[in-house]
Amino acid sequence: MDPLDLSLDDHRTLQAIGILADVLDGVDGPGGLDTVLVSKALRQVIATKSKPAFEFASRAFNTLDPEVRRKVKADADTAAQGAVDLRSRVGGFLATPTKKPVPQGPVVGQQPNFITALNLRSRRRPTPPSS
């Protein structure tokens, strides 16, 4: 697949571009300024969803030192896998059915427990007349 055939309207593509930009922001040492510029170009792609911006960012990335590109690729792969793992954990958590609320009073057809019965009894007592 040609990298220029990517859909810039796809949420996952934009997320992957964002992960790559985040990794580029974290590069230290020689070439650090270059990686920041590439990161900004990638963020421009996310903001505009423009093919020319993507082509520019792609060319800028290819000008980076090959060793920096390899490290960025490895770090981005790790970060992307972490994002997938997190999404699956959060997705599973969000899909967990919530517990039904515990009824606050007697439910029709059920015997009230002792405390509920006492509370109901105290509500039914007439207030003693004041003298």
* Tens-digit pLDDT profile for residues 70-107: 988 999 999 888 888 887 777 665 555 556 555 555 55
Going from N- to C-terminal start, the domains of the chain cover: 1-68
pLDDT at 1: 42
Distance CA 118, CA 2 (A): 75
Where residue 123 falls (left for φ over 0; alpha for ψ -120 to 50; beta otherwise) is alpha
Three-state DSSP string of 50-72: CHHHHHHHHHHHHCCCHHHHHHH
pTM for the whole thing? 0.62
